[in-house]
Structure 1
Amino acid sequence: MKDFVSDPNGDPNGARKGWMSTLAKAPAEALLAAWQGYGQQVPFSWLRAPEVGAVMVRGRAGAVGAAFNLGEMSVTRCSLKLEDGRVGHAVVQGRDRKKAEIAALVDALMQGAEGEAVEAAVLAPLRATAAEKAGARAEKAAATKVEFFTMVRGEN
């Protein structure tokens, strides 16, 4: 069985950060479709039912310099506990309670024996879609790239 709790760089939470990032960034419709493709009902109890709130988004000009408050963003967060004691958490952008629930379920399942099946059924399709979109965005940006060159005048 693949060890999903550690990554090759020695960060014990590196793999979890990866799948949590994938879940948070995935469009709600794509996450719901992937979850339905997994096709298993998972009994759980709420530790914190999905609740909508806001977080302050901070930024830095040019990724350097002093941080400043950019504005607020809506988020939905929740925590749940599976029958075997595993706990899943989720914080997703927007006000979609179902997306937060599914993300927390996937987080909890990835911490156990079902990790490989959940990876293949839910996370891999989401990552493939994200990579495809990133490739299309890069292609579109490359089409607008301007090559500047200088002609040597020969006066040297």
Structure 2
Amino acid sequence: MEARQENAGRDLGRKRVVDLLARAELDDLARVWDGLSEQPETQMLRGPEIGLVMVRGRIGGGGAPFNLGEATVSRATVRLGNGLVGHGHVLGANLKRARLAAVFDALWQDPEHRLLVETQLLEPVAARIAERKQTKSEEVAATRVDFFTMVRGED
């Protein structure tokens, strides 16, 4: 039971990492990659390659699913010299970005590099995402209209 809970916690952490890497910009990934004191040896296991995924939607959140359209994605899988495997998936046709996301996924799994990946890459990406979300929220709040019902006379 404890092993299952530990794996669940690790999976949540990995899910967060893969999400942030998918949303990281090429400049972020390249900056950290170029700043590494020693770049690890990498072997491509898959790709990088470009493909399409079907985007599905629902009307009202509970309606029947329908095919909204296709989106271009890039993906890559790498193995580091120490045997760790990383996967990178990003929206758009950017092979270098997918490859670097896969490399940093593998590096994050290595306890020796995890802190570097967290502080140099993931935290700035998460901060930028939060800042954009806050800005969007403020823009939406500025256009908010409050409606109220006023009762006239007697019912």
Structure 1 residues 2-151: aligned runs within 5 Å: 10-37=8-35, 40-113=38-111, 114-151=113-150
Aligned equivalent of 1:3: none
Distance 1:35 1:127, change over 3 A: farther
Could you list the per-position Cα deviations for residues 46-81 of structure 1 after superposition, in whole angstroms to 9, with x for gaps in the alignment? Answer: 111200111111111122111111111111111000
Question: Could you tell me which amino acid in structure 2 is paired with residue 129 of structure 1?
Answer: R
Distance 1:125 1:37, change over 3 A: farther
Distance 1:141 1:86, change over 3 A: same
Q: Distance in 2 between matches of 1:122 and 1:151?
A: 53
Give the Å deviation of 1:43: 1.4
Give the Å deviation of 1:41: 1.5
Q: Percent identity?
A: 44
Q: Which runs of 5+ in 1 are unaligned?
A: 1-5
Q: Distance in 2 between matches of 1:115 and 1:82?
A: 14
What TM-score results when the alignment is normalised by the length of structure 2? 0.87
Contact 2:33–2:39 at 8 Å: present in 1 too? no
Structure of higher RCO (CA pairs closer than 8 Å, 6+ residues apart): 1
Contact 1:31–1:126 at 8 Å: present in 2 too? no
Q: Distance in 1 between matches of 2:61 and 2:84?
A: 37
Contact 1:34–1:125 at 8 Å: present in 2 too? no
Contact 1:35–1:121 at 8 Å: present in 2 too? no
Give the Å deviation of 1:155: 2.2
Give the Å deviation of 1:26: 2.6
Q: Distance in 1 between matches of 2:22 and 2:108?
A: 15
Q: CA RMSD in A?
A: 2.3
Question: Could you tell me which amino acid in structure 2 is paired with residue 28 of structure 1?
Answer: L
Distance 1:7 1:98, change over 3 A: farther
Distance 1:20 1:143, change over 3 A: same
Q: Distance in 2 between matches of 1:70 and 1:7?
A: 37
Contact 1:7–1:13 at 8 Å: present in 2 too? no
* Range 7-16 or range 117-126, more displaced: 7-16
